[in-house]
Amino acid sequence: QVQLVESGGGLVQPGGSLRLSCAASGSIFSIYTMGWYRQAPGKQRELVADIANSKTTNYLDSVKGRFTITRDNVKNTVFLRMNALKPEDTAVYYCSADYIYEGESRRSWGQGTQVTVSS
């Protein structure tokens, strides 16, 4: 199985930047996609960005041009660089990893890290 540990959240002013990190351990060789989701109070969890083994990326429309997802396969770490942050980006951000275990596709989640954008 895959375990994920996140870091990098915090409080930032509108227009500021943050970088989130997520380190994977365990059955890392079976991971095929890693990503970041977020959940704001009273809202459903939504995909922010993901990146496949091929480095193909996918972004939520509202973060395109502001957020960048990258992946270091040597360090088994995925990053989310967030620029030009807006108050509506405030949420708990969760790292995810999709992997194959015993022939089935599974997903692991990180513990979540709070991002607050406020003046």
Per run of 10 residues, the mean pLDDT along the chain (length 119 residues) is: 94 98 92 96 96 95 98 92 98 97 94 97
What are the Cα distances from residue 66, in Å, to 15, 84, 93, 95, 112? 10, 6, 16, 18, 21
Nearest C-alpha neighbor of 23 from the set 60, 66, 74, 67: 74
DSSP secondary structure letter of residue 89: G
Going by DSSP bridges, is the β-strand pair 31-39/91-101 parallel, antiparallel, or unpaired?
A: antiparallel
Q: What is the pLDDT, as a whole number, of residue 83? A: 98
Q: What pLDDT sits at residue 64?
A: 98
pLDDT at residue 28, rounded to an integer: 85
In the prediction, which pLDDT does 105 show?
95
Length in residues, the chain: 119
Q: Give the model's pLDDT for residue 24.
A: 95
Predicted local distance difference test score (pLDDT) of residue 73: 85
Dist. CA 47–CA 60, nearest whole Å = 7
Rg (CA), the chain: 14
